Amino acid sequence: MRSILLTIGMMASIMIHGQQVFGPAALQDMMAQNHDPSSDSSCHQSHCFTAGCQGLHGTNVDGNSQVGTPSWYDATSGVRSAIFVLDFAEDFPSEAQPAVQYAVDIWASSIESVIPIRMTAVWDSLSPSILAQASPLEVIHDFPGAPVANCQYAIALANQLAGEDLNPDAQDMILKFSDQVTWYHGLDGQTPSGAYDMVTVALHEMAHGLGYLGSANHNGNSGFMGFQGVPFIYDQFVELSDQSSILEFVSGTVSLGNVLESDALYWGGDQGVAANLVGRPRLFAPATWAPGASYSHLRESSYIIGNINSLMTPFLSMSESIHTPGPVSLGMMQDMGWTLPPTLCNITMVEPLVQSSCNPASNSYTQQLRVTYENAPSNGTLVVNGVSFAITSSPQTVSLVGLPSNGQLVDVEVYFSENPACSYTVAELFEAPAPCCLVLRMVEVNPQAQTITLINVGSCEGELSGYTLKSEGQTVNVGSLAEGALLAPGETTTVSWPGWPDNVEGGDLTLYDGFGSYDDYVQWLTPGNSGEFLANIYGLWETGGFLDGLPPYTYIGDPTANPAEHGLTFWEAVPYPCAFLGMEVGATSECNAQDDDFTQEFTFTLQSPPASGTSIMVQDSVLTFDGNNPWSILLTLPATGSPVDVVATVVDDPACTATFSAAMVAPESCACPTDLDGGGYVDVNDLLLFLGDYGCLSGCNADFDGDDIVNVNDLLIFLGAYGSFCN
């Protein structure tokens, strides 16, 4: 059977103190009076048909909130799952029409229809407190194909279920908008302060027109249910806390009235429950019945402003927009019999999360992304910039590793391997870190000149400013010392560090890039400098080891070797120069009368001695160095009785020489020159030799006074010694 419920204008949306109450108050009044003969229907209607009976209060504030369109809604596409036929009354302002059309278009993508849903939008003078009005023009039960017997359906829904237009001569609903409201006609949801979003209001009222309403009513004492004794399909799903059905209560009783004011009514339909995040969707059922608001809406305080399901709550603020029916309300529509379009695979968002620093070892980094999607394929993979990930659940976090650090903005493309059309592309989603492939190593360190030579052993050019030098507790950025900011692979650069603390007598130098462990280290002349401890931990240096020599200190390993060559073994100092540091005077022999000489032991201590076999001249003797240090020698020297200056010189390194002045005193001379035959006694044989030499003018043995002539003076010396022994 078919019942004409009401004409336009009887469904009130009531505004009190700036807040909107949507709802079929008048419809409920009408239903109550129509099927409950015991009530004082005329009084009831006159009492509640006007806005004044609502008794609801709200704060007059802007909501400043926007909820966008459904993820599946594409405003540009021509394909819609439902057919709506929308007519505008002649005086409907053209500037207001796009907002209503937009709301219709969103619904046309949110449900399916086989029979066109026909509606007319009217512009009229409503009560100043009324924003808009809508309801089904008709409810109908037990039509051919009705899924549930003895149950009223909105005509638009009944048409779909019947597969034919059950009332081809009439509209299915009429939307009536007030001409006395400050409307925002825009489609973008950016509703300004003080205005109401027409798209939102149209979406809300259309839901009621499509059947989102129940039949319950209240007269301040008793509760009522059903229209002409027949409940609505909506009523079938309304439950109490204990999941019992509201239909178990008898219409016209106080107990039903109490339940309707219990603030404990829930939606029990499977699809509505499934779409709710926690438990059953909760309905608006305040302790005092609010005509037009109670029962046929979601509970305001459970779906607060900004909630994706807040369209079908009873309150709307100014500057609040909600451009989606919300999954809960759509689930409720599905429970009541509406078919929803197949939910297609959809990637709705890709967000950058954590980004790692550039790793100098690989000049790469890791980027974490969060991908939000729905209805992912049941197999295959999620592909993000060509990298496949197992599909888990949305939102899914994935990590892209080994991305090149090039400082560029990165585009992201995401799709499912089993459904490449289900994709999402966003340009320049995040920025790669700057390159860090520069890998610096020290090749020469000169604390005296305060210079450091560095080589880039990395595979690409990089910024020197990524590196720091540290010595004696002082640090300096390499980039601040270098003339150029970049260093090409394989190139070296020598930087000067004027502020380098003086550690010529011993110190260390650390090189690091701020990423992970130290990168290079060298220590000279003294152990235990400030960087040694960590350098040892990082495998760069042996504790206690240091270079012993003069600067510059030079790396002699292979800087590109793998594993890296670090440590004392791979460094070299300039050797100290060869020098005679000291000499000890050893045993001295007696004077040897034969040659009037003596033998003397000397022991030299050398710095950087020459190679074994090298010739070293000591006094007039060329000796062969035996490689020992200290080096002991035995010299034969004339017995002069005078202090001896000992001079030692490496023959082929004349700079390696030393003179030890008056190192010792030679024994007194023990010569016996008149013993010309060496017989130990000056006798006649010596006289004969003297006489044979007499008159000699050169190289003469008997020239005792050394005047290069053997004459009477020498004879007198000879005679003076005649007959004496020589020792």
Looking at beta carbons only, is 207 or 650 nearer to Zn ion? 207
Kindly give the residue spans of alpha helices, DSSP state H, lying in 36-185.
41-48, 97-108, 155-162
Closer of 23 and 223 to Zn ion (Cβ): 23
Residue 110 or 468: the one with the smaller Cβ distance to Zn ion is 110
Dist. CA 632–CA 653, nearest whole Å: 20
Which of residues 50 and 355 has its CB atom nearest to Zn ion in the complex?
A: 50
Q: How far apart are CA 119 and CA 154, in angstroms?
A: 13
Q: How many CA atoms, within 13 angstroms, populate the side-chain half-sphere of residue 583?
A: 21
The least CB distance from residue 367 to Zn ion, in Å, is 46
Could you list the beta-strand ranges (E) of 214-272: 217-218, 223-224, 238-239, 266-267
Shortest Å, Cβ 143 to Zn ion: 25
Work out how close the CB of 204 gets to Zn ion at its nearest, in angstroms, rounded to a whole number.
Answer: 5
342: which DSSP letter?
Answer: P
Candidates 19-27, 31-39, 660-668, 686-694: pick the segment binding Zn ion (CB under 5 A).
19-27
Q: Tell me whether residue 22 or residue 72 sits nearer to Zn ion (CB atom).
A: 22
Identify residues 144-163 at the interface with Zn ion (CB under 5 A). Answer: none
Cis-peptide into 395, omega within 30 deg: yes
Size of the site for Zn ion (CB under 5 A): 2
CA–CA gap between residue 691 and residue 138 (Å, rounded): 172
Nearest approach, Cβ of residue 347 and Zn ion (Å): 33
Residue 68, C-beta contacts closer than 8 angstroms, at least 6 positions apart = 189, 323, 324
Q: How far is the CB of 136 from Zn ion (least distance, A)?
A: 13
Largest CA-CA distance found in the chain, in angstroms, rounded: 184
580 binds Zn ion (CB under 5 A): no
Return the number of the residue (23 or 327) whose C-beta is nearest Zn ion: 23
In whole angstroms, what is the distance from residue 267 CA to residue 335 CA? 10
Q: Which of residues 20-39 bind Zn ion (CB under 5 A)?
A: 22-23
Of the pair 212, 389, the CB lying nearest Zn ion is at 212
Shortest distance in whole angstroms from residue 161 CB to Zn ion: 23
What is the closest distance, in whole angstroms, from the C-beta atom of residue 21 to Zn ion in the complex? Answer: 8
Least distance (Å) between residue 353 CB and Zn ion: 40
Which region, judged by CB under 5 A, interacts with Zn ion, from 14-22, 191-199, 412-420, 550-558?
A: 14-22
d(CA 135, CA 212): 9
Which C-beta is closer to Zn ion: that of 22 or that of 598? Answer: 22
Question: Rounded to the nearest whole angstrom, what is the least distance from the CB of residue 397 to Zn ion in the complex?
Answer: 39
Q: How far apart are CA 559 and CA 457, in angstroms?
A: 7
Among the listed residues 22, 326, 321, the one whose alpha carbon sits nearest the alpha carbon of residue 200: 321
CB 117 → Zn ion: shortest distance, Å? Answer: 18
Nearer to Zn ion, 285 or 481 (CB): 285
Beta pairing partners, 430: 410
Q: Residue 57 Cβ, how far from Zn ion at the closest point, in Å?
A: 18
Closer residue to Zn ion (CB): 23 or 326: 23
Nearest distance from C-beta of residue 296 to Zn ion, angstroms: 6
Rounded to the nearest whole angstrom, what is the least distance from the CB of residue 270 to Zn ion in the complex?
23
In 375-524 the beta strands, taken as DSSP E runs, fall at 381-384, 387-390, 396-404, 409-416, 419-431, 440-446, 451-456, 462-463, 468-471, 474-477, 486-487, 492-496, 507-512, 520-524
Collapsing DSSP to helix, strand or coil, 706 comes out as: coil
Cα gap 346→377, rounded to integer Å: 10
Q: CB neighbours of 215 closer than 8 A, spacing ≥ 6?
A: 28, 31, 152, 225, 226, 227, 231, 232, 234, 235
- Which helix (H) or strand (E) element contains residue 184? strand 183-184
Give the range of 17-25, 64-72, 246-254, 602-610 binding Zn ion by CB under 5 A: 17-25
Between the alpha carbon of residue 520 and those of residues 116, 545, 549, 674, the distances in Å are 78, 15, 20, 78
Residue 234 CB, nearest approach to Zn ion (Å): 12
Q: Which CB atom, from 214 or from 231, has the smaller least distance to Zn ion?
A: 214
Which one, 171 or 310, has the nearer CB to Zn ion? 310
Angle formed by the axes of helices 97-108 and 198-209, nearest 10°: 50
Nearer to Zn ion, 22 or 227 (CB): 22
Q: Which stretch binds Zn ion (CB under 5 A): 16-24, 25-33, 497-505, 620-628?
A: 16-24
Q: What are the CA-CA distances from residue 74 to residues 106, 404, 513 (Å)?
A: 9, 36, 50
- Name the DSSP letter for residue 435: P
Which residue of the chain is nearest Zn ion when measured via CB?
22
Beta-sheet strands, E only, within 533-690: 550-555, 571-574, 579-588, 597-607, 615-618, 621-624, 631-638, 643-650, 653-665
**Residue (200 or 363) nearer to Zn ion, CB:** 200
Helix or strand holding residue 721 (H, E): helix 712-721
Tell me, what DSSP letter sits at residue 104? H
Which residue ranges make up the site for Zn ion (CB under 5 A)?
A: 22-23
